[in-house]
Amino acid sequence: MRQKEREIKDRKAIDNIIKRCLVCRLAMCADGQPYVIPLNFGYDGKNLYFHAALEGRKIDIIRRNSSVGFEFDILHEIIKAESACKWNTKYESVVGSGKAEIIKDVEGKKSALEYIMRQYGSEAKDFPEEVLKKTLILRVRILEISGKAIK
């Protein structure tokens, strides 16, 4: 990272940023074409979890290329200045990469959905079988992760 004073290396600090985010942007690539989508997510400290329909563009891409990137950010404040080049932003962000895989077993799906619900403040665990059958769960095993902030 070019500006070392902005780098966040402490994993607890990185986890804290993720836990305060409402959206994760998942980046994929197929046939040389990038695709980024904002998603609700769950996080267990090692993996990210996403739910999806059984079919769709992101699923098609991940089936062809399981390498993904992800991004989280929290915007705190825009810092205005007289000169346009002196404007700045107070923020916290996390970026990383990983490998996506589809979770197929029912217990794995339930566990992932519990992480997703917890991210948004719910301890709900009532996932009907008929809904689970129509829900695809992606797990992203985090391979690289880093944080950055201006506070």
Asked if residue 147 lies in contact with residue 7, where contact means CB atoms within 8 angstroms, the answer is: yes
> Domain 4-150 falls in which CATH fold?
Pnp Oxidase; Chain A (2.30.110)
What pLDDT sits at residue 1? 55
- Is the model's pTM score more than 0.85? yes
What pLDDT sits at residue 2? 63
Q: Give the separation between CA 90 and CA 93, rounded to whole angstroms.
A: 10
Q: Give the separation between CA 73 and CA 110, rounded to whole angstroms.
A: 27
Interstrand relation of 33-39 and 67-79 (parallel, antiparallel or unpaired): unpaired
Low-confidence spans in the chain with pLDDT less than 50: none
